[in-house]
Amino acid sequence: MNASELVERDVIERVLASALRRGGEFAEVFVEDRRTSSASLDQRRVEELSSGRDRGAGVRVVVGETTGFAHTADLSERGLIDAAHAAATVARSGSGRTVTVSLGDHVSYVNKAEKPLGTVDKARKIEVLLRADDIARSTGGEITQVMVGLGESSRRILVANSDGVFRSDHQVRTRFNVQCVALGDTGMQTGYRPVAATRGFEILTDDAVAQAATGAARQAITKLAARPAPSGDLPVVLAGGSGGILFHEACGHGLEADAILKEASVYSGKAGQKVASDLVTLVDDGTVEGEWGYLAMDDEGRAAGRNVLIENGVLTDYMWDFLSARRQGRASSGNGRRQSYQHLPMVRMTNTYLLEGPDTPEDIIAQTPRGVYVAQLGGGQVNTATGDFVFGMTEAYLIEGGVITTPLRECNLIGNGPEVLQRVDAVASDFSMTPGTCGKDGQQVPVGTGQATMRLSSVTIGGTAA
């Protein structure tokens, strides 16, 4: 089934017209059919092998600054009109006017997955899980537990609105992850590696599975020799791909237009101003095919775009969804996203990354007499109003005399987003991306983050060593 076949075109037109007849200035129907499949292995036992399906529609009606929203699992014309009436009632009482909605030509984006959900049998999936388990355990005798997970989703969406938009997309995502536990004299440590893309099962090549399993196992084993991290302000070198989440949280959320318009961001009113080092060019780009935050179109039917947010240290623009852009009399940047048909869209990032620079990772490390090398960042928190953040370091090492030496126990990076942007003093050319999930106002969406190896001249390390 194509996404455009979820609800017939003439039904959509009548639903939108009904919403406008009841006083709406703008009306939108978002239809979704999502299928999911998951499998997990723990200690060589299949713990889960499941699939599910969820389908429905959300109807949004806007009057002035007020938005009405209703969602339903009933995709019949009656069910959709009832939802439209409920949304319009919230937005404004009926006006009784007659409205005709004419949708534009249907635009359908093509899914490029070679092996999408449902085309690979369960036996083959379990075979891949077991192979990852075997490889991880063979990495070292210290590995005492291996957990392997596989998740797939197929999301068909249709967006139509009273401006004439009528577009559909088929989004396929596959995620595979390996987590290992190692036990040694100093206790227990964990390692984790994901493989994820907006593709099908074909991403799980023998090499990809082996690299994930070996990487997770080696990370856990290496951390057994970790010592307490130093405390205080030190230079920090972020490995390529690993530090993108820092900039996603520390400044990305502050560049989303809803925070800007509410003046709840430290970056409000700073367009055109110098906010970062000359080495910093920050981009949000939903057009990067294959990456976890890739979108042919956003959840409001706008084509995904490449949006330069900071260029050579100067703040050039923010990210916009339909409503925030409408208030400013400008176009959306393709950043309207929602978790499902049960949620309203809001401004969200897609693939957010810093462009590569002229240096090499080896030179950056060699030119750091003492500091911390972060191979992998963990979760973090940020205050968008101030830019203050705290991030965990999942895998980190001491840099001594320009050489990476001792692994460090998990500790925190503590700082301020605007200050960190000013402290980027070296950027390499080994650019890479990392998949992730971004939470905002109770909604979760897939995103990508990335950067090349880079150095921050000074960041506070929350370690425990004297």
Using one digit for the tens of pLDDT, what is the confidence trace for 170-192?
999 999 999 999 999 888 999 99
Question: Domain check: are 244 and 294 in the same one?
Answer: yes
Q: State pLDDT tens for residues 241-274.
A: 988 899 998 899 999 999 999 999 999 999 999 9
Looking at 223, 253, 278, which one is the last position of a domain? 223
Question: Domain check: are 139 and 15 in the same one?
Answer: yes
Model confidence at 3, pLDDT cuts 50, 70, 90, reads low
Question: Domain check: are 139 and 35 in the same one?
Answer: yes
Question: Domain check: are 89 and 42 in the same one?
Answer: yes
- Give dist(CA 128, CA 146) in Å, integer: 14
Question: Domain check: are 265 and 247 in the same one?
Answer: yes
Looking at 202, 223, 244, which one is the last position of a domain? 223
Structural domain count, the chain: 2
- What is the domain-level CATH number for residue 131? 3.30.2290.10
User: 310: closest CA among 321, 319, 302, 301?
Assistant: 319
Question: Domain check: are 351 and 412 in the same one?
Answer: yes
Q: Is the dihedral of CA 41, 47, 50, 55 positive or negative?
A: negative
- Give dist(CA 159, CA 44) in Å, integer: 43
Range of weakest confidence among 2-11, 275-284, 292-301: 2-11
pLDDT confidence of residue 96: 45
Q: Is the pLDDT of residue 103 over 70?
A: no
Residue located via tokens 């009933």: 74
Question: Domain check: are 302 and 263 in the same one?
Answer: yes
Question: Domain check: are 353 and 258 in the same one?
Answer: yes
Question: Domain check: are 248 and 195 in the same one?
Answer: no
- The bridge status of strand 454-462 relative to strand 66-72 is unpaired
pTM of the model: 0.93
Question: Domain check: are 173 and 253 in the same one?
Answer: no
Looking at 189, 223, 257, which one is the last position of a domain? 223
Question: Domain check: are 219 and 236 in the same one?
Answer: no
Report percent pLDDT > 70 for the chain. 96
Domain that holds residue 35: 3-223
Question: Domain check: are 285 and 150 in the same one?
Answer: no
